[in-house]
Each structure stands twice: as structure tokens, then as C-alpha cells.
Structure 1
Amino acid sequence: MAAGRELGIIGLGKMGGNMAERLRQGGIQVVGFDFSAEAVKRLTDAGSTGVSSLEDLVKNLSAPRAIWLMVPAGKPVDDTIAKLKPLMQKGDIFIDGGNSNYKDSQRRYHELEAEGFKFVDVGTSGGVWGLKEGYSMMIGGEEPVVESLRPIFEALAPGKDLGWGYMGPAGAGHFVKMVHNGIEYGMMQAYAEGFSIMGQKKELNLDLEKIAQVWRYGSVVRSWLLDLTADALKKDPGLEDLEAYVEDSGEGRWTVMEAIDLNISAPVITESLIRRIRSREENNFTDRMLAIMRNAFGGHAVKKD
């Protein structure tokens, strides 16, 4: 069977498992591997082929093979590729669908090309909603190789010709996804600040969930992100069950560093990243320093524990 009609997937977590199911529904034969026996069983129960080793994964795919890696960025990607290479043959395709740094993707492309393999980087957006809504995919690599995988991308995308596209040479897919996530940081920060301002205007007794619902239709700030925000506020209007601690996957940092390297001013993305980092500081020393300086030069009051 041609590589575009079957796919091996390594990493069957929430996103990888959902992708496998969407592919199956789209007529793509899926062979999946995960270290979790439960995840492999879920895949098998859904009608695809689950295997318990990389050797079995490769054996169950016909040449030229295409294997999609959904593993954490960095060393896990390199380690997985290193384990797969002795099992595969020239012309087989490695697809990195995770959040890798585009520079790593460029390096992997050149290393694999020298050994006769193909490499495609796919910046993938859609998260846990991808099974229902489809995935947005930003793809880098050799265009003929990407074209050979078209049935896979069409099955995963929101529509046959919607939500996915060839971005350019190796690394381009992950570069565009990096900037995509940087923009996402800024959008999320703006929504968070706006709703915080409205929530603090106590005398107006504003209903934040109702406002989000109104903004979803006709407003210039409507978005899928706002849809998700409205749903979250409906479930927990005061967000009382949450800790004010925000992680980042790394792509916002890479976007900021790239902007600096390119002499591009990106204050919104940069500040949104800094706010995320600040959310993790316990007993914030920076703010305590600011308070004591204000007290020192102006006699302004400070609060003590």
C-alpha cells in the first residue's frame, strides 16, 4: 500500500490517539505504537492496528513507509529516529508532527537526507478538538514528498483543501507553527486582561460568560478561542477551581528569540510570555522589590504578611 494510504504513528496520547481515529475514519490504514498498553488497546479496539514494539510497527507498514512522530520535542525525537533508522529503508519518510524547534527540523532533514531517508515537519494545531474539528497543519519539506502524503493531510484537515498547506523547505512548517503559537500567546493574554478588567468592575455586576457569548457573534474579536473561553466561564464563572499558574510549551520563547534575531519588534508576544513566566513565581520577589522601592523614595505604604 502506498505511503499516502497508510501511516505509522508513534505516540498515542490524547492528541495522537485522536489523530489516529480521524485517519481511520478518513480511510487511512493506521498502525500505532505507544509505551502505554492501554493506549495501544484503545487503538486496536477502534479498528486500527496497535503494536507493542517499533519493530512490529515497521513490519506492519509497506515500503515506502511513512511514520508520524507525536513525541515531546528535543531529545525524544532524536532518540526515536535513531531507534527507527536501523529498521527502515531508503525512501521511507519520517514525519515530525510535534512542537519541535524549526532549527532541529532543518538539522534532522539534512541528516536523514544524507542517509537516504525523507523528512517532513508538520506544525499541528487543533489539540484535543482535532478529532471533531480537524487539524490545521503547516508543512515543511520536499514538496513532492509532501504531495505523496496528501491523502493523510486531507483526512486530518478540517476539509480536503482547508486548514493545511505546504509552507516551504524543511523547517518551514515548524517555523510557521512557532509564530502561530506566539500569536496565540498574545491573543490569550488580551482576552485574559480584558475579562479581568470587566470582572473587577464590581459595581456593574457584569456577567462575563454572557459577554463572551455576545462577542461570539458579529464582533470583530470573535474567534474559536473566544468560543472556548465562553464555555469555560459557563462551567466555572469565577475560575475558583484554578491556580494562577500558566505553562508554556517553548514556542512562545522561540518566537521572541527569533524576533530579536530578525530585529522585529514583538512587544505583545514578548509581554505575554513574560506574564506566563511571572504566573509561576511564588511569593513574587520582583513585586516585593517594587513595593519597598516605592516605600523608600516616597514613603508609600507596604503590606506585610
Structure 2
Amino acid sequence: MDLAMVGLGRMGANMAERLVRNGHRVVGVDPSEEARARAADKGIEPAVSLAAAVDALPSPRIVWLMVPAGPPVDKLIAELEPLLAADDVIIDGGNSMYKDTLRRAAQSRTSRLHYVDVGTSGGVWGLAEGYSMMVGGETDVVESLRPLFEALAPAADKGWGHVGPSGAGHFTKMVHNGIEYGMMQAYAEGFAIMERKDFELDLHQIAEIWRYGSVVRSWLLDLTADALEKNPSLEGIAPYVSDSGEGRWTVDEAIELEVSAPVITLSLLERLRSREQDSYGDKLLSAMRNEFGGHEIKKR
């Protein structure tokens, strides 16, 4: 199949390369000349503009977006709509908020375009291992795109599926990332407890033991073992944890649906806490303890 991949950052470029390796033709679009040159080395046909990419594709045209969520997606859609014709397909493979996807899908229908949302997991390992894809959209359109999903997945019949109508793919990926937050937090806390104990534990050894046969084995644990092997003391890594926004959206959705999700919620709050360089709240807690119990206040 022929398609345009818009956004040749690391993940977009890797996905395009995997498609090319599986016999698909990919026209790559990116504002960076360097990114286009790297893509060309991998067999991806570079295009300097959306118009050039669309012109290079046969009808019905398929345009896959791999750009940051939010306004960049809306901007690209606004630029694409005049270039596309009825029955062309826009695929959003980024981490868009599912409510935005519902709006964009409805907007696309008025232009007689098809909008498919693909919640994509796999990160930097997807090129070699394949991507997990949660696909939302019209059944017949998703089915027509099957060769692309089968090429990108770990296997043709594993790691991807049509999970529901427009928005369902991004909704499922949002919850996936919320679960990921909780799992990562649990691993981090467990290893922190072991690191503090005076048994002189080899944390990399323990991670390796747990990788096989243990009920807590997972790909996240595999990656943890790899990180501990490379840098056992985590030297040079600041205790600052970013979030992509999907954990926040998951917590918001849990509140809206009145579903108790304390682990995911607390894992998000811990990430926010990691960014506090000078915590006013902690200083006030210390002051309160001094007021009611005369407990010592540690000075800077």
C-alpha cells in the first residue's frame, strides 16, 4: 500500500521504515531537512510539503499523522482537507485526547473523509519488536487498512485490533498509559525499598531473577533490568519525572465515570511531586509538627 507519513521524529520514522521493510511505499513529510534525509536513507520517499506528498499518492489516499497531540493535529487537518478528496483516509497515530478525536472524526465526515485513530504503543523498540495498536474507526475502512497494521504489529494476528468506533483507539491507549503509570510507580517504589536496606542487594541481579517465572515479570521489568545494568547507581539522572498528559486524562475520565482509580491517580501525583524543587507544602508540614509537638525543624 502507498501512504504518506507526516512527522518523521523517532517513532514516525521507525514506523515508516518498518512499513517499507514490509513492502509498502511511504512518502515522508517533515519540516526538518535532516529528518527527511535520514528517512531517505531508509527507503522512505521524502516530500518537502503536504501538497507534494498528497500529489505523490494514488487515490484513495492515506495520510498517517505522527505529530504531538493538540493544536498541531488540528493545524495539519486544516491544511490537509483542501488537498484531499472524498474517501481519502486520515490516520492519527499519536497520543491525541479521544474527545478531540471524536470532534475531528465528525468534522472529517462532513468533508466525506475517513478518520481513523490508532493508539500506538511500542516506543523506540517498535521498529524491531513491532507496535501494539488499538484502532478506532469505521469497520470497512479499518479492514481496508489491515495490511498496514499487520506490517507494523509484532505479528499479523497479534498486538493489534479494531477496538471500536472513532475515538475508541485513543481512549484505549489513554487507559493503557494510565495503567503504565501505576506499574512504573510500583516498580520504582519496590526497588527504592530494596536500595535503602543494608543487605547490599544487587538490584540488577534481582531484576534479572524476577524476569523469569515471577508473577511480576513484564516488558517494563525487562527495561528496568537493562537500565540497572547500564547504570546501577542511576548516576547523573535527576529525580524529575515528566508526564505526557495521558495519565491526567485517565484520572479525569475515572472521576467523570465515578470509577475508583487510586493507584493510577497517586502515580500521577507522585510524578508531579518529583518536580517540586522547593516544596512549600513540605515546609508547612514541618512547621505544623513543630507547633503541636515541638518537633525539630531541619534548617537548610
State the TM bucket, normalised to the shorter chain. over 0.9
Inter-partner Cα distance in structure 2 for 1:199 and 1:243: 17
Structure 2 residue aligned with 1:215: 210
Inter-partner Cα distance in structure 2 for 1:145 and 1:300: 66
Structure 1 residue aligned with 2:152: 156
Q: Give the letter for the 1:117 counterpart.
A: L
1:114 to 92, 106, 110: 110
1:235 to 230, 235, 238: 230
Q: Give the letter for the 1:280 counterpart.
A: R
1:99 to 95, 98, 102: 95
Does the 8 A contact of 2:81 with 2:111 survive in 1? no
Asked whether 1:250 is paired with 2:245, we answer: yes
Q: Give the letter for the 1:239 counterpart.
A: L
| Helix, strand or coil at the partner of 1:68 | strand
Inter-partner Cα distance in structure 2 for 1:294 and 1:28: 65
Q: Which runs of no fewer than 5 residues in structure 1 stay unpaired? A: none
What is the TM-score with the length of structure 2 in the denominator?
0.99
Please report how far the alpha carbon of residue 286 of structure 1 lies from its aligned counterpart in structure 2 after TM superposition: 1.4
Cα distance per residue 1:115-157 (max 9 Å; x no partner): 1000000000000000001000000010110000000000000
Inter-partner Cα distance in structure 1 for 2:299 and 2:139: 62
Inter-partner Cα distance in structure 2 for 1:300 and 1:110: 60
Does the 8 A contact of 2:93 with 2:117 survive in 1? yes
Write out the 4+ residue segments of structure 1 that deviate beyond 4 Å after TM superposition: none
Asked whether 1:295 is paired with 2:271, we answer: no
2:175 to 175, 179, 184: 179
| Helix, strand or coil at the partner of 1:293 | helix
1:23 to 7, 19, 23: 19
Inter-partner Cα distance in structure 1 for 2:41 and 2:255: 49
Q: Structure 1 residues 138-147 or 37-46, which shifts more?
A: 37-46
Asked whether 1:128 is paired with 2:150, we answer: no
2:65 to 43, 49, 69: 69
Please report how far the alpha carbon of residue 48 of structure 1 lies from its aligned counterpart in structure 2 after TM superposition: 2.1
| Helix, strand or coil at the partner of 1:144 | helix
2:53 to 30, 50, 57: 57
Identity value in percent: 63
Please report how far the alpha carbon of residue 283 of structure 1 lies from its aligned counterpart in structure 2 after TM superposition: 1.0
Inter-partner Cα distance in structure 2 for 1:253 and 1:45: 38
Q: Give the letter for the 1:252 counterpart.
A: G
Please report how far the alpha carbon of residue 162 of structure 1 lies from its aligned counterpart in structure 2 after TM superposition: 0.5
Inter-partner Cα distance in structure 2 for 1:99 and 1:289: 38
Does the 8 A contact of 2:290 with 2:297 survive in 1? yes
Cα distance per residue 1:197-251 (max 9 Å; x no partner): 00000x2001111100000000000000000000000111111210001110000
Q: Give the letter for the 1:265 counterpart.
A: S
Q: Give the letter for the 2:255 counterpart.
A: I
Count of residue correspondences = 300
| Helix, strand or coil at the partner of 1:204 | coil
Does the 8 A contact of 2:137 with 2:164 survive in 1? yes
Inter-partner Cα distance in structure 1 for 2:181 and 2:40: 36
Inter-partner Cα distance in structure 1 for 2:127 and 2:72: 25
| Helix, strand or coil at the partner of 2:242 | coil
Please report how far the alpha carbon of residue 158 of structure 1 lies from its aligned counterpart in structure 2 after TM superposition: 0.3
Please report how far the alpha carbon of residue 43 of structure 1 lies from its aligned counterpart in structure 2 after TM superposition: 1.4
Asked whether 1:11 is paired with 2:10, we answer: no
Inter-partner Cα distance in structure 2 for 1:6 and 1:150: 13
Please report how far the alpha carbon of residue 287 of structure 1 lies from its aligned counterpart in structure 2 after TM superposition: 1.1
Inter-partner Cα distance in structure 1 for 2:128 and 2:82: 36
Asked whether 1:33 is paired with 2:29, we answer: yes
Inter-partner Cα distance in structure 1 for 2:139 and 2:287: 59
Q: Give the letter for the 1:231 counterpart.
A: D
Computed over aligned residues only, the root mean square deviation of the Cα atoms, in angstroms, reads: 0.6
